[in-house]
Amino acid sequence: MEKKSMIGAWVTRVYDPEKAAGTLKFTDDLSFGSELLYARAARSTIPCGKIVNIDYSEALKVPGVVKVIVGKNFPIHFGIYLKDRTAMAVEKVRYIGEPVALVVAESEDAAEEGALKVRVEYEEETPVFDAAEAMKENAPLVHPDLGSYEHVSFVTPVPGTNIAQHFKIRRGDIEKGFEEADQVLEESFSCPQIAHAFLEPHACICLQDPVSQEVTIWSTAQSAFTLRELVAKGLELPLHKVRVIAPPIGGGFGGKAGITVEPLCLAAALDPDIKGRPVKLFVPREEVLTTSWVRQGWNTKVKMGVKKDGTISAMKVELVFDTGTSAEYGANPVRSAGYTSMGCYYVPNIWTDSYGVYTNKPFGGAYRGFGLPELMGGLEAVVDAIAYRIGMDPIEFRLKNLLKPGLPTCTGMPMPPHALDKIIKKVAEKIDYHREEPPVRKGWKRGKGIALAIKAPAMPADASSSATVEILGDGSVKVLAATMDMGQGAYTAYAQIVSEELGVPMERVKCYYPDTAAQPYDWQTVASRSLWSMGMAIKRACEDARSQLLALYAEYWQCNPEEITIEDGIVKCPKLGKAEPIDEKTQNGFKMPDGKYKGGPIIGRGHFVPPDVVYPDLETGQSEKSVVHFTVGAVGVDIEVDPGTGEIVVNKAVAGYDAGRVISPLNVKCQIEGGTVQGLSAGMFEGIYYDKNGKLLTPDFTDYKIATTMDVPWEIESFCEETPEDPSPYGNRGVGEHSMISPAAALGNALYKAIGIRIHQYPFTRERVYMAIKAAERGEKDFWG
């Protein structure tokens, strides 16, 4: 009988039982004894200005307050791609809410009370809140020192401006392309900043040993090793003197990637008066948006030229990302959108400018989808609009212009194999796209819409992973693979891989949460890369462990390694009629026929780095291999709108992606469900708003609405195609982020069908939809309000 493969097996997820029981400890759940100190930030009350004086004498009088630290005590610049950020404001504040002082106290309450007593005197300067304004000549500069900041080679700030990043694509002859077009359409769409809204706020505990100077950080971090590296570089410590322990995190979505709140906590823990005592920084919900990052606000302008027969001849794309006061991470989604700006289409002539622009607001960074919801929110609407303009069915238009395998993307890289055509047809069929149906609710308006999704892992060319697999003395297996399982289910998939490769039952495989002191290196848990990149490392580590074990058994049993199998934890040599469970020999050594011991603990190791990515040329964006691969897909929604209130109800949502190979069906299904709802929620409710002085109006879940059980479809239909990826552990490629990319765009397209007017501003709140319906009744075709 053929052995049932674990790859693709329907299994429940590891660590879920502990999560259901509530016994799994998150960072905020750890205890550190009575030496623990608590930190709380005092925050800027103005959006832009010089700090003249910080008076914290009253804070020091609060019983329990130990110390107050200000920005100039800790002026180190941190940042992953562009070091434009300090833990606290130094000399100048750049947004309301920026930390200006850190109060450290014996209790959380005292720290909070102290923070309220810090008084700051400012010399106010003119702020700029709007990215388009900030791009204008003579706009006030958010970072006058931009030219002096350290940055990676693939990020291109424009010193003397507010442009923190400018990415370009220049391919083909754009003018000729538009001349060849019979129809040209230009539209723009925009969306405010949005929040990750993970339910676990950031928390961090830092401790520096006063003798060895070693720093230990427990943090709600997606990426223990990148955090280690950025801290070590910032503090000028060798890597081995920084240890990052990352307990389970309660949702990340990019908001806990790179380095986030840790520098603020380090400012206290490294203070000479505090050093030696652990310091905890718990970021209260209302401060999450100001201390960490948000998804950048965006404006996407697409000009598309199409020939009579429906082929796209040219496209000009301008993406403006509002990155707030820091682009340290936000510079990269700007690139990601830029080098994917053809969307899912073959565009022979394309010209793209993607900008990350500073404003005096909280800062933008990584967010599930990483530049692609921002691109697709505009592009997929334009595709529908131009199809209608030339009288072509939007599905047919998409299929006609599809970026088929082998065709060049906007960077010139040939598109790898995929089954997007099949997916589009399936999604259309499942929502019965071409059938106009009457609304289910009396008096409502119904519409159906589709949008495509595409995304490559956005990461440095040399983002590597490594893992070890240790076969323990009873045949159970310890896997050290420093991915953060933040709910995506990485450890379940890893356990499946190990079970498959080593022939041990999955229940006997254990993956551990990241600790840089214990585990081998992995770049970051981002970019939907883990099961691909770390998957490669784990598979190789298994192959290594397995061949070590088989070599030992071959000598022990006096047979060939090829004659030995491992099934269900039993080592067998059918030829010799031998079979035994893996036992302590694998740990203590095998007593060989010659009487000598051989072996010892079996540890397999594996590593992986993408072999052939070439950074796009800084002037043209061209590269023969700009990214490792692309995952593509489509989402379709069937919605209804209440013209009396503007309320949208999603009758049905269907989403399909080309996963290459599905390793964990339950994980993939749940990622698609969760991401689709996160996308719909963004499309219907979410926006971060400020008053005219830049003060945040949406710091909590009352004002910052995310979807609740009342707002979502009862079911989401998901499916996958499986066109294998190469290289890849099993042909699989990432699907974690993709489901978030296009639901909002699909919603926009459905909405247009339902109400006959195109809304150019996300989110499609009731109020906005209601007003758009009113505008439609006046005969308008576009709504900008």
Partner 1 sequence: MTKREVHFTLNGRSVTYEVEPRTTLLRALRHHGVTSVKRGCEEGECGTCTVLLDGVPVKSCTVLALEVEGRSVLTAEGLVGKDGKLHPVQQAFVEEGGIQCGFCTPGMVLTTYALLKKNPDPSEDEIRLALAGNLCRCTGYTGIFRSVKRAAELLKDQA
Judged by the rule CB under 6 A, the positions of this chain that interact with ligand FES are 199, 251, 487
Say which entry of partner 1, ligand FES, none residue 26 contacts (CB below 5 to 8 A, set by partner kind).
partner 1
Query: Which residues are 606's β-sheet partners?
Result: 467
Peptide bond before 727: cis, by omega within 30 degrees of 0?
A: yes
Residue 652, classed as helix, strand or coil, is strand
Q: Which is nearer to partner 1, 736 or 748 (CB)?
A: 736
- The option from partner 1, ligand FES, none interacting with 615 (CB < 5 to 8 A, set by class) reads none
**Contact between 676 and partner 1 per CB under 8 A:** yes
Least Cα distance to 465 among 506, 416, 526, 508 occurs for: 526
Residue numbers 473-532 binding partner 1 by CB under 8 A: 486-489
Q: Number of residues in contact with partner 1, rule: CB under 8 A?
A: 58
Q: Choosing among partner 1, ligand FES, none, which partner's interface includes residue 34 (Cβ < 5 to 8 Å by kind)?
A: none
**In whole angstroms, how close is the CB of 256 to partner 1 at the nearest point?**
11
| Minimal distance, residue 625 CB to partner 1, in Å | 33
**Cα dihedral sign, 124-130-132-135:** positive
Residue 469's identity, in one-letter code, is V
The Cα 666–Cα 687 span in angstroms is 31
Q: Tell me: does residue 341 bind partner 1 (CB under 8 A).
A: no
Q: Is residue 12 within the footprint of partner 1 (CB under 8 A)?
A: yes
CB of 199 to ligand FES, least distance (A): 4
Q: Which is nearer to ligand FES, 291 or 516 (CB)?
A: 291
Closest distance between partner 1 and the C-beta of residue 27, in Å? 11
Q: What is the 3-state secondary structure (H, E, C) of 355-421?
A: EEEECCCCCECCCCCCCHHHHHHHHHHHHHHHHHHCCCCHHHHHHHCECCCCCECCCCCECCCCCHH
- Residue 211 interacting partner from partner 1, ligand FES, none (CB closer than 5 to 8 Å by kind): none
Q: Is 588 in the site for partner 1 (CB under 8 A)?
A: no
Copy the structure tokens of residue 764. Answer: 């499609």
Q: Where are the beta strands (DSSP E) in 118-271?
A: 119-124, 163-171, 183-191, 203-208, 215-219, 242-245
Q: Give the Cα separation of 71 and 48 in Å (integer).
A: 15
* From candidates 284, 589, 643, 756, binder to partner 1 by CB under 8 A: 284
Q: Cα(444)–Cα(309) distance, rounded to whole angstroms?
A: 36
**What's the min distance (Å) between Cβ of 280 and partner 1?**
13
Of 138 and 709, the one with the shorter C-beta distance to partner 1 is: 709
Residue listed under structure tokens 């993607």? 354
Q: Does 34 bind partner 1 (CB under 8 A)?
A: no
The single residue among 167, 225, 253, 752 that binds partner 1, judged by CB under 8 A, is 253
CB atoms within 10 A of CB 440: 11
The minimum distance between CB 710 and ligand FES, in angstroms, equals 16
Half-sphere exposure (Cβ direction) of 212: Cα atoms closer than 13 Å: 11
Q: Choose which of 674, 731, 748, 763 interacts with partner 1 (CB under 8 A).
A: 674
Q: How far apart are CA 167 and CA 154, in angstroms?
A: 9
Stretch that binds partner 1, among 408-416, 455-463, 558-566, 668-676 (CB under 8 A): 668-676
Of these, 19, 478, 510, 695, which contacts partner 1 (CB under 8 A)? 19
DSSP assignment of 281-344:
EE--HHHHHHHS-BBPEEEEEEEEEE-TTS-EEEEEEEEEEEEET--TTTHHHHHHHHTTTTTT
Rounded-to-integer distance, Cα 75 and Cα 89, Å = 8
441 binds partner 1 (CB under 8 A): no
Alpha carbon distance 340, 149 (integer Å): 27
Tell me the closest approach of the beta carbon of residue 650 to ligand FES, in angstroms: 20
Partner interacting with residue 483 (select from ligand FES, partner 1, none; CB below 5-8 Å by kind): none
Binding residues for partner 1 restricted to 190-229, rule: CB under 8 A: 196-201
Judge contact between 257 and 368, C-beta under 8 A. no
Count Cβ atoms within 10 A of the Cβ of residue 15 and give its class: 0-12 exposed, 13-18 middle, 19 or more buried: middle
Report how far apart, in Å, the C-alpha atoms of 716 and of each of 31, 372, 431, 625, 741 are.
40, 21, 11, 35, 16
Residue (of 707, 700, 772, 766) closest to 740 by Cα position: 707
The least CB distance from residue 674 to ligand FES, in Å, is 8
Nearest to ligand FES of 52, 199 (CB atom): 199
CB 207, CB 231: distance < 8 Å: no
Among residues 250, 365, 503, 694, the one that binds partner 1 under rule CB under 8 A: 250
Residue nearest to ligand FES (CB): 199
- Residue 179: which H helix or E strand, with range? helix 174-179
Options 13-21, 176-184, 503-511, 602-610: segment touching partner 1 (CB under 8 A): 13-21
Q: Is 5 in the site for partner 1 (CB under 8 A)?
A: no
Find the shortest distance in angstroms from Cβ 105 to ligand FES. 22
**Minimal distance, residue 192 CB to ligand FES, in Å:** 23
Task: Name the binder of 644 from ligand FES, partner 1, none, CB < 5-8 A by kind.
Answer: none
Nearest approach, Cβ of 116 to partner 1 (angstroms)? 15
For 639-648, give one letter per residue: b (16+ CB within 10 A) or e.
bbbbbeebbb
Regarding 145 and contact with partner 1 (CB under 8 A), the answer is no
The residue (of 200 and 421) whose beta carbon lies closer to partner 1 is 200
Report the partner that residue 13 touches, choosing among partner 1, ligand FES, none (CB closer than 5 to 8 A by kind): partner 1
Q: Any contact of residue 64 with partner 1 (CB under 8 A)?
A: no
Q: Give the Cβ contact number of residue 498 at 10 Å.
A: 30
In this complex, which beta carbon is closest to ligand FES, that of residue 14 or of residue 773?
Answer: 14
Q: Which does 16 bind (CB under 5 to 8 A by kind): partner 1, ligand FES, none?
A: partner 1
C-alpha to C-alpha distances, 161 to 82, 131, 152, 298, 673, nearest whole angstrom: 15, 12, 19, 18, 41
Residue with Cβ nearer partner 1 (131 or 672) = 672
Chain positions 691 to 750 lying near partner 1, rule: CB under 8 A, are 700-702, 706-710, 712-716
Q: Whole-number minimum distance, CB 706 to ligand FES, in Å?
A: 10
Q: Does 647 bind partner 1 (CB under 8 A)?
A: no
* CB closer to ligand FES, 321 vs 513: 513
**SS3 of residue 265 by DSSP:** helix
**Nearest distance from C-beta of residue 381 to ligand FES, angstroms:** 30
Distance CA 261, CA 778 (A): 49
Per the DSSP assignment, residues forming a β-bridge with 279 are: 37, 206
Smallest gap from residue 484 Cβ to partner 1 (A): 10
Q: Which is nearer to ligand FES, 199 or 440 (CB)?
A: 199
Q: What is Dmax (Cα atoms) for the chain?
A: 95
Closest separation between CB of residue 15 and partner 1, Å? 7
Please state, in angstroms and rounded to a whole number, the distance separating the CA atoms of residues 759 and 761: 6
> Quick one: 279 or 486, whose CB is closer to partner 1?
486
Closer residue to partner 1 (CB): 215 or 688: 688
Reduce the DSSP state of residue 5 to 3 states and report it: coil
**Of 251 and 405, which CB lies nearer to ligand FES in the complex structure?**
251
Q: Closest distance between partner 1 and the C-beta of residue 402, in Å?
A: 28
The whole-angstrom separation of Cα 401 and Cα 347 is 8
State the minimum distance, in angstroms, from the CB of residue 202 to partner 1.
12
Q: What does the alpha-carbon distance between residue 80 and residue 257 come to, in Å, rounded to a whole number? A: 10
Contacting residues toward partner 1, per CB under 8 A: 12-13, 15-26, 28-29, 31, 196-201, 248-253, 284-286, 486-489, 666, 669-670, 673-678, 700-702, 706-710, 712-716
